[in-house]
Amino acid sequence: MKKITISTLLAKKQRAEKITALTAYDASFAKLFDEQGIDVLLIGDSLGMVLQGQDSTLPVTTTDIAYHTRSVRAGAERAFVIADMPFMSYATPEQTYANAATLMAAGASMVKLEGGDWLAESISGLRDRGVPVCGHLGLTPQSVNVFGGFKVQGREEDKAQQLLDDALALEQAGAQLLVLELVPTSLAKRISEALTIPVIGIGAGPHTDGQILVMHDMFGISANYMPKFSKNYLTETGDLREAVSRYIEQVQAGEFPGPEHSFE
């Protein structure tokens, strides 16, 4: 199978073909996911919770992400690899450029930043320096203390409009991909249709251009709890490879996520 690029993902959106994504943190699982045909692998700062046993993503460092990015890149031959930039690793443009360079050198194809239009300068600077960027809006786990917990975002019209405005601002600044987390289905649809770049959802309903899950949630082995928006594919199949294959099939067919995994 041909190597996945950002052009591949954009073409999928234009053809209304769903993008499939999972988190990965090591070479073995990256290889397994890659062989089943996953489009995107994300080295998420979720590793702080699912690997390190932290109660949030905040303690994760750039060094942590770079280590796991190298591991994932070693196992992934064709999937598009995105690396999270951790909490406070992109507080200023200069800091952003230095830390993004570390993650790209570790093997990332793109870096992901959480936040709205205040990131425009940094995103534009990364684009000018040849670093592809994925934005992240909605529930941004690095801001969990501001939100007062892991709560659905954008239910009020003014908050929904702000998320749409932020999404447009990130695209205008040069972001080439967007993750939407924990937002109402109708808002995710509205944002996905407004942007020309692909939108990948998690807890954002079925109308985004693709879906991503934390691998530990998909296998039902998270140390904390199973989010409403996830699904335990390992219980259904009894086999890791078959679980990934079924996830990909159901996303591509529009069968996942269903109403029981979504928010209004």
Distances (CA, A) of 128 to 122, 132, 168, 176, 231: 10, 9, 19, 13, 39
Distances (CA, A) of 92 to 53, 105, 120, 129, 163: 29, 20, 11, 15, 22
230 among annotated binding-site residues: no
112 among annotated binding-site residues: yes
| Active-site residue flag, 121 | no
Pair 12, 198: CB distance under 8 Å: yes
Enumerate residues 6+ apart whose C-beta is below 8 A from 58. 48, 87, 142, 144
Please give the Cα distance from 208 to 253 (Å, whole number): 13
114 among annotated binding-site residues: yes
Helix 157-173, helix 120-128: angle, nearest 10:
20
Identified catalytic residue from 35, 94, 181, 236: 181
45 among annotated binding-site residues: yes
Enumerate residues 6+ apart whose C-beta is below 8 A from 27. 71, 72, 74, 75
Q: Could you tell me whether strands 80-84 and 110-114 are parallel, antiparallel, or unpaired per DSSP bridges? A: parallel
Please give the Cα distance from 77 to 233 (Å, whole number): 24
* Closest alpha carbon to 20 in 105, 85, 78: 78
55 sits in which H/E element:
none
* Residues making up the binding site for 3-methyl-2-oxobutanoate: 45-46, 84, 112
* Residues annotated as catalytic (active site), given as ranges: 181
